[in-house]
A and B are shown apart, each in its own frame.
Chain A
Amino acid sequence: MRFLEKIRSYIKISGVTPISRRYFIMNAFDGATTILGIVIGAYVAEVTNEFWIMWPGLGATLAMSLSGFVGAYMTEEAERARRLDSLEKSMLIELKNSVVGKAGRFASMWAAIIDGLSPALAAIVCLTPFFLSSRSLFSITLAVQLSIIIALTIMFMLGVFLGKISKRNMLLHGVKMLVVGLIITLVFLTLKISQ
């Protein structure tokens, strides 16, 4: 309980919530888009083995997560160190060991975890039909269709979430995000037809 209180206090002091929310939406969207690209690309190439989609998908997931984690950590850490230096100059004391310094370090790690986990979460959910297909639960064609639907649904839900936090039209925001996924899908399907 004490630990949770401390975490809550660090989140409040560092003001990391809006940043992590941005990271979450941006990177979950990245995760879903990347897997959508891989799946549709594989569909156009008429891939018959689900492992040929799963492994590139998992590779991309790992790369996105690691890049998100390291990128966010380095950026946040540098930004917060600069802010702490400036505050120390105003206060004329060292704040590294105070709750302000600790909250800053926590915020860098928190943002990095969100940035690393969100694309992985979206990507793994999109890849789930292929895990099930590899267990012969259904055909690869159905897995491709399900994966595309899941990716588009995630994009739509992220838009709805954006609409909710901005207190605007949730449906409109959902559709805006969905359009990006539909563009990718349509471009590739056109390529397939013109093959």
Chain B
Amino acid sequence: MIRRLVLDVLKPHKPSVIELSLVLSDLEGIEGVNIIIYEIDQEVENAKVTIAGNAIDFENIKKKLEEMGATIHSVDEVAAGKRVVEEVKTPQDRSARM
């Protein structure tokens, strides 16, 4: 059972993030959606879409995004199971980041 999904999405300017977030949040198994635009080009924009829920259906989300004219570039984070497990920081991560 997917509980959290973070996607990198490429979308046209219209439909807007407001419409997109409302459509996504209307899907079954989804409790909340957050969309942040982090890059804007002349015709398209890149968005980080964070979806939280108790039974997120990835295929359903992918289909809905395509219907809205958007496309998934990458799946950046997934949390699944009975509870959401946060990313654990390790010394290796720290040294890798330095």
Of residues 81 through 140 on chain A, the ones whose CB sits less than 8 Å from some CB of chain B are: 86-87, 90-93, 95, 97-101, 103
Set of chain B residues within 8 Å of A97, measured between Cβ atoms:
67
In the assembled complex, B81 has its CB within 8 A of some CB on chain A: no
Quick one: which of A13, A14, A99, A101 has the most chain B CB within 10 A?
A99
Set of chain B residues within 8 Å of A13, measured between Cβ atoms:
14-15, 19
Inter-chain residue pair count (beta carbon < 8 A): 46
Set of chain A residues within 8 Å of B67, measured between Cβ atoms:
97-99
Set of chain B residues within 8 Å of A101, measured between Cβ atoms:
69
Of residues 14 through 33 on chain B, the ones whose CB sits less than 8 Å from some CB of chain A are: 14-15, 19
Closest 8 A/B residue pairs (Cβ):
A100-B69, A98-B69, A90-B43, A13-B14, A90-B44, A93-B71, A13-B15, A95-B69
Q: List 28 A-B contacts (CB under 8 A).
A: A9-B19, A12-B15, A12-B19, A13-B14, A13-B15, A14-B14, A87-B12, A87-B44, A90-B12, A90-B41, A90-B42, A90-B44, A91-B10, A91-B12, A91-B44, A92-B71, A95-B12, A98-B66, A98-B67, A98-B69, A99-B15, A99-B67, A99-B68, A100-B12, A100-B14, A100-B15, A100-B68, A101-B69
Chain A residues with CB under 8 Å of chain B are 9, 12-15, 86-87, 90-93, 95, 97-101, 103
